[in-house]
Structures are given as C-alpha cells and as structure tokens.
Amino acid sequence: MGLLAFLKTQFVVHLLIGFVFVVSGLIINSVQLCTLVLWPVNKQLYRRLNCRLAYSLWSQLVMLLEWWSCTECTLFADRAAVERFGKEHAVIILNHNFEIDFLCGWTMCERFGVLGSSKVLAKRELLYVPLIGWTWYFLEIVFCKRKWEEDRDAVIKGLRRLAGYPEYVWFLLYCEGTRFTEKKHRVSMEVAASKGLPVLKYHLLPRTKGFTTAVQCLRGTVAAVYDVTLNFRGNKNPSLLGILYGKKYEADMCVRRFPLEEIPLDEKEAAQWLHKLYQEKDALQEMYNREGVFPGQQFKPARRPWTLLNFLFWATLLLSPLFSFVLGVFASGSPLLILAFLGFVGAASFGVRRLIGVTEIEKGSSYGNQELKKKE
C-alpha cells in the first residue's frame, strides 16, 4: 500500500477533510448572509455571487469523487446532445438508487460548468441541515413538505423565479420521491397495480405532480429534459464513506435529451409521458444488467482542476492555524485544555458523521412507505 492509499484510510485525515468542509462552509454561509443586502438592489448580482459561493462548497464534495477516490464517470449519449450540455437550461431526471447518485450528478454539472447554478426540488427537512440546507436557501432552492396541497403554491412560485436566472440552470428532479429499497419497491408496485400502471423492476413508481408542474412553469425557460439512468460497473453499491476511504468506482450514465416541445402540455398526458419514460429507464437498466453497457456513444468528459484547487485553497487557509492551535494546546501541558480539545474533536467527528448520514439509504425518508402505513 502506497503512502497516499494509506492516508486515505486514516480517520484523522477524514476528520481534517471534514474540518475544512465544515469551517469553509460556515464562512461561505456567513458571506452569503451578507449578500442579502444586494437582493433588493441587484438580484442578478446576488445570484451570480451565490452561484460562485455555492460552487466553492459543493466542489469540495466533487473533489472527493474526482481526485480523492478517482472515480470515473462515463456518459452514454449521442454527440448532438452532449454538445448542448451546459449551454441551455434543462430539467434533469435521475434515478434514485444509490447513496452517491447526487454526487455523480454534481460531477456532471461541474464538468459542464453548471455546478454552482444547479437546482433541486428538496424536502423541507434539509433546509435545517447546516451547510447543505443553508447554502440551498441562499440559492433559492425550492423546498417542499411532500404534501401537494401545501406545497403547490410555494413550488410554483419558486420555479417561476428561475425564469430570469443569469446562469444556465440544471434543475434536478428525483421523480421517485425517495431512494429505492426493496420494501419501498414492493409497496410502490402494489400502488402501480391498483392504478393499472405497468410494473417496474428497477424503479419506484414516479410521482408525477412535481414533474408536470416543473414542465408547465418552466416552459419558455427550459429547453429540454435530460433523462439520466445511472449504474455502477461490477454491480457495486458505492457510499460516501467509501469515497472518503478512497475507493474507486466506475459510474455509467445513460443520458437522453428530450426537447421540451415533445412533452405534452396537458397535465394528464405529461404524467403518462413520465410513466412511459420510466418504463424505458427500466428497460435500460435491464440491458445494463445483462450486457454491462448502456446504448449510445461513450464520452468521458475531462475532469477540471478547479475542484482540486478550490479545496487546496481552503485547506491551506484553515489547516495552518489549526495545526498551530493544536501544538499550542499540547505545549501548554494543561490537562483541562487538552481534555476540552479532545472533547471538541469527538463532537466534530460526530457532526461530520451525521452529515455523511444524510446520504445513507437506511437513513432515508419514510416517504415511500406512506401507502403501507395507510394499509396498516
């Protein structure tokens, strides 16, 4: 095992990476708070600044995938579609099967220059998660309670705000609403059968309200819908902890571009279009499991140096005073100071672990089990 491979497995190194992410995130959130004074004066300047501030935080996670674990991402798509990536507003539909599917999505956003301006329809609980939720708030992310009667007006208002956005926006939708598990899949397929909808093998039944509303609100702004079907070679099931330990994965993403004009205007017909899309996604997953590849030409967009340089900037800025402080604590010889510092380290490691826990499948929401609760 080489020195770098050894360092990737060490808890203290993980703690230092977590320290850089958390402290830089708090600094970024503080700067974002100060930018609020620009909102009534110049909204576009406010948005451009916050896109770059968000990039400085999110790119640290992308750096872990691209440079720390050296995970490779391959696109399967046609060249005409790839040439449009990063040059138009788009709605992204991504399957929700893996703990790091969001990170693979962010990697593609980064490689096509839209990471800072990427958007998502997020559950409201995430608004209160430090760093992640706070950064999203300043980015005008749409938060929802997952109760359509309560969410409808807020979602429509939030989507319409994107019409005048100064950067190209990729709006990510997880139409399944929650991560795939066998239990949720069983319940979801019972609901599909009761509604006369085709059974899916690899996906949950898509929730159509968010999609149809997004398409209606963003017509005239968004040029296309990108359908993304993600899988990992070798039947791997990667995790954020695995990435932190430097494990290398190979992600394959089948991307299909649908011009927005091809999606029906009528809400019911648009919902049927989405159900048909998920049947096609299921067929693509079946093909991948059988043949190990998706259809289409393969592209490997080159990773850019900015994520690594951004992390090195924050690490240089924050770790130097940290090391000086630690040396001072132990040089003091004070048992009280040393115990207080060790207590802080324990609390910090717990906090970082809780942040990682947000991505874990078993810690996911119970949203997909609501129908089961009703039956019981």
- Which pLDDT score is estimated for 299? 96
- pLDDT, one tens digit for every residue, the chain (376 residues): 688 888 898 888 988 998 899 999 999 999 999 999 999 999 999 999 999 999 999 999 999 999 999 999 999 999 999 999 999 999 999 998 888 999 999 999 999 999 999 998 888 888 888 889 999 999 999 888 777 777 788 888 888 888 889 999 999 988 898 888 899 999 999 999 998 988 999 999 998 988 999 999 999 999 999 999 999 999 898 998 899 999 999 999 999 999 999 999 999 999 999 999 999 999 999 999 999 999 999 999 999 999 999 999 999 999 999 888 888 888 888 888 888 877 877 777 776 666 665 555 455 555 455 544 444 4
Residue spans per domain, the chain = 14-307, 319-359
Tokens 């947000």, located at residue: 358
Class of domain 14-307: alpha beta
Q: Are 121 and 173 in contact (CB under 8 A)?
A: yes
Residue 17 backbone dihedrals phi, psi, to 5 degrees = -60, -45
Instruction: Please state, in angstroms and as integers, the Cα–Cα distance from residue 60 to each residue in 115, 288, 302, following that order.
Output: 11, 30, 17
pLDDT in tens, 71-122: 999 999 999 999 999 999 999 999 988 889 999 999 999 999 999 999 988 8
- Which pLDDT score is estimated for 149? 75
DSSP string, 154-169: HHHHHHHHGGG-SS--
- Which pLDDT score is estimated for 335? 85
Q: Residue 196 — left, alpha, or beta (φ > 0 → left; ψ -120 to 50 → alpha)?
A: left
Identity of the amino acid at 310? N
**Distance (Å, rounded) from C-alpha 82 to C-alpha 15?**
38
Q: Are 136 and 126 in contact (CB under 8 A)?
A: yes
- Which pLDDT score is estimated for 164? 85
- Indicate the burial class of 64 (C-beta count within 10 angstroms; 0-12, 13-18, 19 or more): buried
**Distance (Å, rounded) from C-alpha 50 to C-alpha 57?**
11
- Which pLDDT score is estimated for 372? 44
- Which pLDDT score is estimated for 162? 85
Q: How would you label 28-61 residue by residue, b for 16+ Cβ within 10 Å and e otherwise?
A: bbeebeebeebeeeeeeebbbbbbebbbbbbbbb
Q: Are 224 and 243 in contact (CB under 8 A)?
A: no
- Which pLDDT score is estimated for 355? 63
- Which pLDDT score is estimated for 354? 66
- Which pLDDT score is estimated for 374? 47
How far is C-alpha 79 from the geometric centre of its chain's CA atoms?
A: 25
